[in-house]
Amino acid sequence: MGIEHMKHLKFFIFLCILTFTVSCGQQKKYIQYKVKKGETITEIAKKLDMSARDLYRLNPDVDKKPEENTVIIIPNKKMQTLKSENPKKDVATEKDKTKENNNIEDDNSVSKDIITDKERQKTELIEALEKEYKIHEVKKGDTFYSLTRFYDVSREDLIALNPELSEGLKLQQIIKIKKLEEVFDEEDFLYVDEIEDGVSIKAALMLPFRAKELDSLTRTQIFGNSKLANIVAEFYMGVEIAVDSLRKQGVNIRLDVYDTESNSTRIRSIVAEKDLDDNDVIIGPLYSEEAQFLAEKIKTPIVFPFYSSKQSTFTSKRLVKTSPNKKLFREKLLEHITNNFHDGNIILVGDGEAESNLNAKQIQNELEKHDSINSVAVITPQKGYIKRSKFTDVLKPNMNNLVVLTTDDNVIVASAINSLISLPEDVTVRVFTFDKVSAFNKVDNFKLAKIGFTYVSDEFVREDSFKSINFNNKYLEKNGVLPSYYATRGFDVTYDVLMRLASGKSLKSTFDEGYSYRVESKFDYTNKLFKITENKGLFIVKYNPDLTLTRID
């Protein structure tokens, strides 16, 4: 049954009650912390072993001496630090977990450091500048030559934007590189958001809420035992933020929400009962079988919101695949290596299985075409793991060595990385892979950082960016928790599609006008093969020594 708002479903009542308890089954990036009387941001940051500046970035509207019971955001990975100081304190991850307002009791013996005006001003400067400029914080080893080469600007341009540079570069100096519009202009096909005056959009959202099925269950039964329920609920809450944001920008949006229930049980009756071609776009359904069925019955563009291994079989021109196919990950990595690796030695690590062998062989053939690459070697496991000697036989000292892992086998990945981090000091190595699958998630992040682990991803976010902070704050204000991956996905997919329609043009025609960046995703539907619309937006992401991530391509 179609509905205009989720509140007409009994399931929406569950969502309202459980706003603070819905979880996608994965660890949250951030959690809430309620400030104790007399605490300062500096004290809290010190206990979390992080800088006050980084804590201010997560909480840009908080004063240096926040009032008692002010709720701030802290990285979840830092929570163990607080736990170790006082095992009796309460962790505030969900609103209904405690009747004591989720207070975290803290040790009062921490000294009262006062944040300096200089540090505070620097934080405010960064937040203000990055709204208009691409900026850079000067690090050890930076030179005018390296900056001009890396950012493709002249020394004169840098000094014109930053007159203080006439006196030279200074460590930790914040400098302006280019105005953002200049950065955008350099991207040949970047889509420019435009909203036509008085534009109206009619959209449909199809998700398996399973309201009737879940009506008699408790919220613990719903969200504690069903990953699907969590995914659907959080995706929908992200959709809400996207719709609210566009409405505030003057876009008139009618959103009809349909409960498709379990796979293929309701989709046929929805098609029979409703005129779905009356919509400008349909987001969903979630199951690939339903999406293909729907594409055969209607003429409206259908946005498939998640990746499916079956999406490679989609042939309808009406379907919009928002997640890149896995073959594109390998192509992206190969392109990056051939464009950037010009002097050194490459080792491909496989697992001996057919798919891995094929990947390794194809990569080897491609790389050997480039004269700048000295050699390409392939190694495979012995007795199920990679010995250190396998690498020492082919890795070369005092040379760039690049290792590409073409396997997702847990044991082989772990043994290869353990062998690589124990190499002699004169052997430097960086490790690449197509996709950060579960095998790499089981490896300690410090090990990954030590080898400069680099991978292809369809998501990347700078947590301190204005776009990310703005979305997180809106989501937190509306739902009481920070967004999960699925909530952010709901926002990105919906906002991108509706923003393109807000231009007054057809959705498909906007795809020819360029790719777009949202909170975590890049949507690149250009150069459609056989007019099948598939997102090719991918990032190359690298681990830094401090465990942060940097997008390098």
In the prediction, which pLDDT does 30 show?
67
Do 213 and 159 have their domain in common? no
Phi, psi dihedrals of residue 523, rounded to the nearest 5°: -115, 105
Do 489 and 383 have their domain in common? no
CA–CA dist 147, 158 (Å, integer): 9
- If we measure between CA atoms, which residue out of 171, 35, 157 comes closest to residue 104? 35
In the prediction, which pLDDT does 135 show?
81
Confidence of residue 221 (pLDDT cuts 50, 70, 90): low
Q: What is the CA radius of gyration of the chain?
A: 25
DSSP state of 7: G
Residue 11 domain flag: no
CA–CA dist 249, 520 (Å, integer): 21
Mean pLDDT of the chain, nearest integer: 79
In the prediction, which pLDDT does 521 show?
95
Give the DSSP H/E element, type plus range, for residue 33.
Answer: strand 30-34
Q: 457, 476, 493: which is the final residue of a domain?
A: 457
Higher pLDDT, 105 or 363: 363
What's the average model confidence in pLDDT over 242-250?
93
Do 251 and 298 have their domain in common? yes
Confidence of residue 188 (pLDDT cuts 50, 70, 90): low
What's the average model confidence in pLDDT over 417-428?
85
Do 246 and 316 have their domain in common? yes
Lowest-confidence segment of 29-43, 71-85, 338-352, 418-432 by average pLDDT: 71-85
Do 223 and 304 have their domain in common? yes
Give the DSSP H/E element, type plus range, for residue 11.
Answer: helix 10-17
Higher pLDDT, 28 or 194: 194
In the prediction, which pLDDT does 502 show?
96
Q: Is 115 helix (H, G, I), strand (E, B) or coil?
A: coil
Do 372 and 296 have their domain in common? no
Higher pLDDT, 107 or 388: 388
CA–CA dist 481, 197 (Å, integer): 34
In this structure, what CATH number is given to the domain that contains residue 63?
3.10.350.10
Which residues lie closer than 8 Å to 175 by C-beta, 6 or more apart?
135, 136, 137, 138, 158, 161, 162, 165
pLDDT in tens, 495-537: 999 999 999 999 999 998 889 999 999 999 986 666 789 999 9
- Are 537 and 521 a contacting pair, CB within 8 Å? yes
Residue 256 is encoded by which pair of tokens? Answer: 């009809």
Confidence of residue 343 (pLDDT cuts 50, 70, 90): low
Domain assignment of residue 167, given as a range:
135-180
Residue 511 domain flag: yes
In the prediction, which pLDDT does 223 show?
57
Lowest-confidence segment of 168-177, 354-363, 384-393, 452-461 by average pLDDT: 354-363
What's the average model confidence in pLDDT over 446-466?
87
CA dihedral 466, 468, 473, 478 (to 10 degrees): 140
Do 507 and 400 have their domain in common? no
Residue labelled with tokens 């329920």: 229
CA–CA dist 28, 21 (Å, integer): 12
Residue 97 domain flag: no
Residue 192 is encoded by which pair of tokens? Answer: 């420019």
Do 236 and 302 have their domain in common? yes
Residue 341 domain flag: yes
Give the DSSP H/E element, type plus range, for residue 118.
Answer: helix 117-129
pLDDT in tens, 118-145: 666 776 677 677 667 778 888 777 888 8
Residue 147 domain flag: yes
The full 3-state SS of 253-280, as one line of letters, equals EEEEEEECCCCCCCHHHHHHHCCHHHCC
Higher pLDDT, 276 or 37: 276
- Are 373 and 399 a contacting pair, CB within 8 Å? no
DSSP per-residue string spanning 377-409: EEE--BTTB--HHHHHTT--TTS-EEEEE----
Lowest-confidence segment of 92-96, 205-209, 264-268, 476-480 by average pLDDT: 92-96
Q: Does 286 have pLDDT greater than 90?
A: yes
The full 3-state SS of 468-524, as one line of letters, equals HHHHHHHHHHHHCCCCCHHHHHHHHHHHHHHHHHCCCCCHHHHHCCCEEECCCCEEC
- Report the amino acid identity of residue 335: E
Do 336 and 349 have their domain in common? yes
pTM above 0.75, yes or no: no
Do 170 and 204 have their domain in common? no
In the prediction, which pLDDT does 180 show?
62
Confidence of residue 457 (pLDDT cuts 50, 70, 90): very high
Cα atoms in the Cβ-side hemisphere of radius 13 Å centred on 471: 28
| Number of domains the chain is built from | 4
Residue 536 domain flag: no
In this structure, what CATH number is given to the domain that contains residue 316?
3.40.50.2300
In the prediction, which pLDDT does 358 show?
79
β 344-349/373-379 pair status: parallel
Do 266 and 339 have their domain in common? no
What's the average model confidence in pLDDT over 261-281?
91
Which residues lie closer than 8 Å to 279 by C-beta, 6 or more apart?
202, 203, 204, 256, 300
**Sequence-distant contacts of 531-534: CB under 8 A, at least 24 apart:** 531/317, 532/314, 532/315, 532/317, 532/319, 532/321, 533/317, 533/319, 533/320, 533/321, 533/508, 534/321, 534/324, 534/325
Residue 7 domain flag: no
Residue 171 domain flag: yes
In the prediction, which pLDDT does 11 show?
45
Q: 437, 457, 477: which is the final residue of a domain?
A: 457
Do 445 and 355 have their domain in common? yes
Higher pLDDT, 187 or 3: 187
Q: Does 484 have pLDDT greater than 50?
A: yes
Higher pLDDT, 186 or 525: 525
Q: Does 154 have pLDDT greater than 60?
A: yes
Confidence of residue 20 (pLDDT cuts 50, 70, 90): very low
